[in-house]
Structure 1
Amino acid sequence: MNLKPALCYLIVLAFCFGTFPLYANSIQLDSTRNQQDSLPHDFVSRMEVFFNESAKKSLKDLENDKAAIRQSQVMEEIKALSRQARSFLKKGFDTLALKADLQHIVQWHRVVQEGVFENKGSYQTSRNLTTTSHILKALYTETSTYKRRIDNYQDRLSDYRLQIDSLSNDRSLFIFPRDSAELQNYVHKLKVLALESSYHTTDKKEHE
């Protein structure tokens, strides 16, 4: 019996079985090495994500802090303007005196009208016309003075309103806190501000 082919076959099998574990170990070592090499990259990626998110959060917190400071400033300015406007309205405008003076002007105007145009007689003297002209000019001057006073009063009121409206539309007031408790406190501040800056109808009636 020829054993040479069988021996060759066994030698080949032995070599294969002997080298396969080494090859498997080599593959496992390479896989482990690749995993170990990938660990630093994964760590760096996670740290980059963490720092990016932290930076965004810090920026958002900074914006919220700036908004909170600006909100306090705006609210105080609105309160101050509201107090000034309320004090100005309480002083009011002397409408009773104005009405009395206007009635006086109307009466004098009627006297002039009757003397010059209605009961003028057969002729008008230069002296009468000159006197009438002086009276009309005086009435016009007095009326113009009252008109300027009324216009100035109205302008002051409009100025207060425009300033308060401008502050009420400040962008910072529309940035709301993310925390529910802080949000509730902020809404309460807005309600108090609205009450303090409003001029109630009962107060208006006292000065009409």
Structure 2
Amino acid sequence: LAGSGLIALSTLPAILAHRAVPELRQGGHAPMRYFLAAAPLATVAGLVFGVLESVTFALLPVYGTEVGMSPSRAAFLVSITAMGNVATQIPLGLLADRMDRRLVIALSALITAIGLALMPVLVGEPTAFNALLFVTFGISGAIYIVGLTHLGARFTGGDLAGANAAFVMMYSTGLLVGPMAVGLIMEVAGASGFAWSLSALCLAFAGFAFQRLRANAG
């Protein structure tokens, strides 16, 4: 009942803002490759965060049990990552309003990669490990939030709807392939494969983001 009430309340902003809905002019039906070429950083951000999110929810508890945590403790790890994501949304959004959004994405991916790489090091220290998860996965939310914001700043009108569809498709692809790929890596490399594989993904994405920054600055 409480959940239903909260869902109902969440519709109020949309109802109150119905007069502010922008008029979208009909645009061309551009293929997905057009949006990948026009805003590669933002669209790839959707893929990367899709992998991060799905792997976290599906395999972080598995990682926890494999390193010796109790099932309840391992399941609680997911709650810590979710709390980190909620706590950092507004600060990251404010930061993106004051900095180059591409730089925010690049730095967030780099910090996330470092945090993930530290997981096997701190897993034996519960307090430090919890703090690491909170900060790392909280900052990782910028990949999605700022990526989508950057997409909204890049396109207008009908193209914005197409760009959003491309972003969602990339995100959904990440949701689909992430757990399967990382699960296979964990089968081969053990529990640490969880952290190392996601860290490598974020590091590669950070490198791509910094490369895009240099290319546009040149």
> What's the TM-score once normalised by structure 1's chain length?
0.31
> What's the TM-score once normalised by structure 2's chain length?
0.30
For the pair shown, the structure with the greater C-alpha radius of gyration is 1
